Amino acid sequence: MRGLSLLLGGCGAVAAVLGWQALVPFFPPDPAGASMAVRLGQGCAALLPGAAVLALMVLAQMALRFATGAVDPLAGHDARLLRVNQRAISNTVEQFLVFAPAVLTLSAGVPGQRMGQVTALGAVFALARLVFWLGYLAAPLGRAFGMAATLTATLAALAAAAWFWVH
């Protein structure tokens, strides 16, 4: 089981890098990107896809609670689907709390012509969270691919932000 998890995780990390490279051309440099205010605005925009995935998760949880009548989450009557969704939401919030400041710090430090790379990183994060959620719904092991892809995007943002601020 651990071996399969590591294999899926490795594939998720590779997919995150390849997906990032594939998405970068879709986000051309903005001539106004020399302004830190513009870059920070673009950094905030790069966080929107991840926020949208989180909102989708929350809406799905609300709809499931309504449909199943499990209005009180503390009553202990939540079905597996509700518990999995809640764990995916919690994990996504935790991941987003690390990713968001890293992206904003990176946006402030990166040259304007590289902001497309930051925006693509935000898209990869969102896709990775979506894959994590869907994988988790399928089976607990199914979350490994998306979790590793998320970790790759987050560590890339943290490392790049640190590099730009040190240099």
Supply the pLDDT for residue 58: 97
DSSP string, 74-135: GGS---HHHHHHHHHHHHHHHHHHHHHHHHHHHHHHS-GGGHHHHHHHHHHHHHHHHHHHHH
**C-alpha to C-alpha distance for 133 and 116, rounded to whole angstroms:** 26
Supply the pLDDT for residue 160: 95
Q: What is the pTM of this model?
A: 0.94
Supply the pLDDT for residue 1: 83
DSSP state of 73: G
Supply the pLDDT for residue 78: 87
CB 10 within 8 A of CB 144: no
Supply the pLDDT for residue 34: 80
Q: Read off the tokens for 39.
A: 């870059």
Q: Which residue stretches of the chain have pLDDT < 50?
A: none
Supply the pLDDT for residue 31: 80
CB 106 within 8 A of CB 120: no
**C-alpha to C-alpha distance for 23 and 120, rounded to whole angstroms:** 6
Domains of the chain (ranges plus CATH)? 2-166 (1.20.120.550)
Supply the pLDDT for residue 166: 87
